[in-house]
Amino acid sequence: MFDFHYQLKILPDRPGVYLMKNSLGEIIYVGKAKVLKNRVRQYFQSSKNHSEKVKAMVKNIAEFEYIVTDSEIEALILECNLIKKYKPRYNILLKDDKHYPFVKITVNEDFPRIFVTRIIAKDGGKYFGPYVDVSAVYETMELIKGIFPIRTCKRTIKENGERTRPCLNYHINLCTAPCAALISKEDYGKTVLEIINILNGKDSTIIKKLKDDMEYASKSLEFEKAASIRDKIIALEKIREKQKIMTGSFENEDFINIDSDEKDSCVNIFFIRNGKIVGREHFMLENTAGEDKASIISEFIKEFYGGTAFVPKTIYVPDVLESELLEQWLAMKRGSKVELRIPQKGDKKNLLEMVRKNASATLDQFKLKIMQDKVLHKETLKDLAHILDLEDLPHRIEAYDISNIQGVDSVGSMIVFENGKAKNSDYRRFKIKTVKGANDYDSMREILTRRFKRGLEEVKAIEEKNLSLSAGKFCVFPDIILMDGGLGQINIALEVLKEFNIDIPVCGMVKDDKHNTRGLIYNNEELYLKRGSSVMHFITRIQDEVHRFAISYHRSLRDKRILHSILEDIPNVGEKRRKELLKRFGSIENIKKAPYNELIDTDSIDSKAANSILDYFNKAYENK
């Protein structure tokens, strides 16, 4: 049994990281400390100053462990890495852990390319962004390609290199064919410079020149040419509309502010790039009661910039803890100095206040939507309970589905709706272990058996150790089970439940010939659901969601298998290197696009392997 008192006594007076675990051995919180002994002891002392979240966490701590580091900055780096790896439930976890897109121009090439990427590297390329509005980025890219004939191929083209036959883009005036030496490096470079000026917001000169050219073409009665130039001007003005001038400077800055009520908080972040707002994002942080603003913002900075590819030169905040330590960590990620500033007056202070007002408005909208959704969901659940003749409302609903393609990679999925709302944190995926081939019934039997067997084991462990139900993953049972299928699937579920002596109603969700939700089967009877009713919409949503979740898991397994099979054909790339490439880039497309510098920067990839990868994909492209 874990001895808290002994472990607390031997905690070192050193910096490090501590990991709190529940009774099931799951990591529920990761933190860092300048002095481990002082920080960890605080959790087990008087709780009157603890926030509600910390009080709830302490109740579930069954054991802890720690890792000593040589410095506080090492502890911070390790903390961020462990949070990203384990995603502990009591750490601030941003739901949108994503890499925002950038526009990249490969200015280090003789004939640069322009494309959208989510991977930023020190490879000599020029990056613009990040942009939050993904659709706007791709629309901007299409507009630029329509105005400027710049190449989009992935070929390596040198100024005096081997000439090749131009592709279709040249013949439809979308490329000037540097591959066939039909344009010089100097003239091509002028086009690239114009694109850079547009993305930097310095497009006034270009628009003025185009307007002069349009007027001249019109006077010369070249109306078709004038119309073409007019379309380019309209496209440029559309690009300009997407970037609002905000400041007089041309720095890269982020503005972060927060607004809280008695229970939750909303953090808003505005992205300023080259003096323009290129986007904003908000993050709802629930159950933050009792936590101070500076603490929440500090945790947010670690979580957000630990997961994004770009760190700006300056970040403006209303308050922050450990600013020097965070600046040191951010500078390491950026590769140059980063400042966390608290503006006291002027334009920066006013903009930060505007960010707070946006956070406040978002928080109000969030609360209003929650209230509206609660009313709607409650009425829907009442209707469902009436249709199924249930005594109580089905607060927790679990739905199950099986997916396979020609019997390969059979997988099962479990999704959860609580109080009418999807609870993504409780979704579970099952890779079928005991069934060979496409046998949906036996596959469903397996995943239901695993789910409820594990649930009963967790309930027993929780009762023995007097812990809360939040300590387990499967210990909370549903009020009703929905199967994606008919009587056969329902009977399998009922057999498994009977085996474990569990009494839970089971329904089947059935579709019509057009694969649209038709109704429910319950107690061997098909129940009519009124088309357009809230219950019909609710059941359709659950059926679509469980199917989507199963298919997405199946595809991820299939894609990994395809990825491995392709990489196996590359010389000098063994199993270890394949794993590192998959871990670093995530997909075959990202590996194809990766330049030499990014490949060589991957663990275990040396220059020989990097050149083999580049040669393999270049040959594959040429042979298309």
At 543-584, the pLDDT tens digits run 888 888 877 765 665 555 555 556 777 888 887 887 788 777
Task: Note the pLDDT of residue 328.
Answer: 93
Burial readout 225-244 (b: 16 or more C-beta within 10 A, e: otherwise): ebeebeebbebbeebbebbe
Locus of tokens 């590769």: 335
Full DSSP string of 383-443: HHHHHHT-SS---EEEEEEEEEETTEEEEEEEEEEETTEE-GGG-EEEE--S--SS-HHHH
User: Average pLDDT for residues 439-452, to the nearest whole number?
Assistant: 91
130 upstream amide cis, omega within 30 of 0: yes
Q: Which residues pair with 254 in a beta bridge?
A: 271, 315
Give the per-residue pLDDT at 246.
42
What DSSP letter does each residue of 179-213 carry, written as one string?
GGT-S-HHHHHHHHHHHHHHHTT--HHHHHHHHHH
Helix (H) or strand (E) holding 402: strand 396-405
Q: How many domains does the chain have?
A: 5
Instruction: Specify whether 533 is located in the same domain as 591.
Output: no
Residues 356 and 402 in one domain: no
pLDDT at residue 400 in the model: 93
Q: Domain of 595: which CATH number?
A: 1.10.150.20
156, 618 contact by CB (below 8 A): yes
Spatial CA neighbour of 32 closest among 71, 87, 86: 71
Tokens of 145: 């390609």
d(CA 329, CA 446): 47
Contact criterion met (CB below 8 Å) for 498 and 533: no
Long-range contacts of 58-61 (CB under 8 A, 24+ apart): 59/467, 59/468, 60/22, 60/23, 60/28, 60/467, 60/468, 60/470, 60/471, 61/20, 61/21, 61/22, 61/28
Structural domain includes residue 199: yes
309 pLDDT tier (thresholds 50, 70, 90) = low
User: Does residue 425 belong to any structural domain of this protein?
Assistant: yes
Q: Does residue 209 have a pLDDT over 60?
A: yes
User: For the chain, how big is the Rg over CA atoms in Å?
Assistant: 29
Burial (Cβ within 10 Å: 0-12, 13-18, ≥19) of residue 396: middle
Q: Looking at the structure, tell me whether residues 314 and 344 fall in a common domain.
A: yes
- pLDDT number for residue 556: 61
**Cβ proximity of 473 and 428 under 8 Å:** yes
What is the Cα–Cα distance from 351 to 30, expressed in whole angstroms?
A: 33
List pLDDT tens digits, range 134-172: 666 777 787 778 778 888 888 888 888 888 888 888 888
Using the 8-state DSSP alphabet, how is residue 336 labeled? S
Note whether 437 and 487 are same-domain residues. Answer: yes
The whole-angstrom separation of Cα 161 and Cα 155 is 12
- Select the more confidently predicted residue: 161 or 277: 161
Distance between CA atoms of residues 29 and 22, nearest Å? 9
Q: Which domain holds residue 333?
A: 253-364
Q: Reduce the DSSP state of residue 489 to 3 states and report it.
A: helix
Q: Give percent of the chain above pLDDT 90.
A: 23
With respect to residue 359, please indicate whether it lies within any of the assigned structural domains.
yes
Last residue of some domain: 195, 218, 245? 245
Average pLDDT, the chain: 82
For residue 340, the SS3 value is strand
Average pLDDT over residues 316-336: 91
Q: Is residue 132 part of a domain?
A: yes
d(CA 305, CA 322): 15
Q: Report H helices in 389-471.
A: 440-465
- Please report the pLDDT score of residue 532 as a whole number: 82
CATH classification of the domain holding 314: 3.30.420
Q: Which of 217, 245, 273 lies at the terminal end of a domain, its last residue?
A: 245
Quick one: which H or E segment has residue 557? Answer: helix 534-567
**Residue 531 backbone phi and psi in degrees, to 5:** -60, 130
pLDDT at residue 220 in the model? 84
CATH number, residue 68: 3.40.1440.10
**Pair 229, 288 in one domain:** no
Question: What are phi and psi for residue 462, nearest 5 degrees?
Answer: -70, -40
Residue 338 gets the label, from left (phi > 0), alpha (psi -120 to 50) or beta, of: beta
Instruction: State whether 416 and 519 are in the same domain.
Output: yes
What average pLDDT does the segment 224-228 reach?
A: 82
Q: Are residues 21 and 54 in the same domain?
A: yes
Shared domain check, 72 and 49? yes
The pairing of strands 506-511 and 480-483 is parallel
**Which amino acid type is present at position 307?**
G
Question: Measuring CA to CA, how many Å separate 354 from each of 183, 247, 269, 285, 348?
Answer: 49, 14, 11, 19, 10
| Residue of 59, 66, 96 lying closest to 468 (CA atoms) | 59
Amino acid at 300: F
Q: Does residue 605 form part of some domain?
A: yes
Indicate whether 333 and 305 sit together in one domain. Answer: yes
Residue 208, in any domain of the structure? yes
For residue 70, tell me if it sits in a domain: yes
End of a domain among 190, 218, 245? 245
> Are 400 and 541 contained in the same domain?
yes
In a domain, 370, yes or no: no
Q: Is the pLDDT reported for residue 462 higher than 90?
A: no
Residues 275 and 214 placed together within one structural domain of the fold:
no
pTM metric for this prediction: 0.54
C-alpha to C-alpha distances, 129 to 97, 102, 234, nearest whole angstrom? 17, 5, 23
Using DSSP, state whether 447 is helix, strand or coil: helix
**Residue 415: which CATH number?**
3.30.420.340
Greatest mean pLDDT among 79-88, 375-384, 556-565 = 375-384
Residues 99, 83: Cα–Cα separation, whole Å? 17
92-101, 166-175, 313-322: range with lowest mean pLDDT: 92-101
- Whether residues 273 and 196 share a domain: the answer is no
